[in-house]
Chains A and B, each alone.
Chain A
């Protein structure tokens, strides 16, 4: 990522195939002790909710950090609507929610309004927008509550509101629910998905939970050892699984066979009809 303004020379690095993506990473590499991130091309289309799914240490969060402009890849480019992603561009259009909410000392209102204050939005507008965002995440009227009295789920709702209040073009959510218990995770994944869809925002969602991925997203990219093995819409994901690791990851043990048999049975029924 560069801080300078996008120049004409920089524009040439964007390939024509990448042009229809809202945010796209091309040929990016980044070395880590455990793995080497190697992505040929990975993009988000406008209004789409994409999940990066994979086991821990597969490079999901690192790729998210590169796409959010919070980490610079060793090689390759990240482009937002055809322009190279700079720090200022990323700050203007992308909001990120991390696994731990990292709320700032103060009350809920202070946290939700933080990004607006950084953007020097007028005070009167800030108040209204905070109220609106809190209403959206189901915490209406919570402005004056202290952050340290919040439960894990409430804190994560505040973190989501803190991003949504900025009306970003793209939201990045890095395992936002993984520190919560199973039941809450189920409820919140459905709720978060509905909120994000209602805002028509482009979303990159990182998780290691398949259930969460399928609940939240339109398409899923599966990662292993710093590489994307497959990236497709959920409905297509199971139809043509080549990679045995992906097969096993998605449907371990005999699950896969059951699903395969079931889909064969369904298709043969359809053919006979």
Chain B
């Protein structure tokens, strides 16, 4: 075992943070691109996924069941398959080839929406379906309008919904294959953290790759801190405050 190889880690670590500070490679631009693209994709997935998840979670019939099966299956959709389909649709000879979107940021957003939406839908639906129907009936009997009834159900299921949003964001920010396929990893344009880590590792520039990995991990940790904080806050309800 070559123990001096461990030196590689410390060197990479120091080198990476020098890069972040000095900026020989514009790492902050890559980080910002990642956050913008994945943030927007998660936003769109939430916009579509929460109402769809609410609908699926609050109605019980065959159509709902079928749609829920699709959403659950969608959670297991290999991102690379999503990448393939979006690539085929956006390629020059594809259905939307005329739009010239392949290898642009919107293409990455599209594929990330495809990946994140089923996650948001399925997790929201499971949270909403756990809210008893009678609870809404109780709210209605106390004067809640239809909208207020929905708001109450969302409030009751807010931890699951927060988990759905975080799950969607986590799925896309750390995704690499599909983003590489439709985005192309063009430096300064469609290069995001994951594709950059892959590229710099191949080039042997471990310092840059290490710096980006640490930032990526930090983002995921921050998201989880927020969720855990909310969970702890929610758990306080389970204990009498007296």
Q: Any chain A CB within 8 A of the CB of B142?
A: yes
Q: Which residues of B contact A98 (CB under 8 A)?
A: 134, 137-138
A-contact 0/1 string along B141-159, CB 8 Å cutoff: 1111100100010011000
Q: How many residues in B have their beta carbons less than 8 Å from beta carbons of A?
A: 24
Q: Any chain B CB within 8 A of the CB of A118?
A: yes
Q: For residues 87 through 103 of chain A, which have their beta carbon under 8 Å from a beta carbon of chain B?
A: 87, 90-92, 94-96, 98, 100, 102
Q: Any chain B CB within 8 A of the CB of A66?
A: no
Complex: how many Å from CA A149 to CA B237? 8
Given contacts A70-B137, A102-B134, contact A118 B143 (CB under 8 A): yes
Complex: how many Å from CA A107 to CA B237? 8
Q: Which residues of B contact A119 (CB under 8 A)?
A: 143
Complex: how many Å from CA A150 to CA B238? 10
Contact present for B152 and A104 (CB under 8 Å): yes
Contact present for B135 and A166 (CB under 8 Å): no
Complex: how many Å from CA A70 to CA B142? 11
Of A102, A146, A162, the contact of B239 (CB 8 Å cutoff)? A146
Q: How many residues in A have their beta carbons less than 8 Å from beta carbons of B?
A: 31
Complex: how many Å from CA A150 to CA B143? 24
Contact present for B156 and A146 (CB under 8 Å): no
Minimum CB–CB distance from B239 to chain A (whole Å) comes to: 6
Contact present for A95 and B142 (CB under 8 Å): yes
Complex: how many Å from CA A44 to CA B144? 25
Q: Which residues of B contact A144 (CB under 8 A)?
A: 241
Q: Any chain B CB within 8 A of the CB of A145?
A: yes
Q: Any chain A CB within 8 A of the CB of B92?
A: no
Q: Which residues of A contact B239 (CB under 8 A)?
A: 146, 148-149
Interface residues of A (CB under 8 A from B): 68, 70, 87, 90-92, 94-96, 98, 100, 102, 104-107, 114-115, 118-119, 144-150, 162-163, 166, 172
Interface residues of B (CB under 8 A from A): 132, 134-135, 137-145, 148, 152, 155-156, 234, 236-242
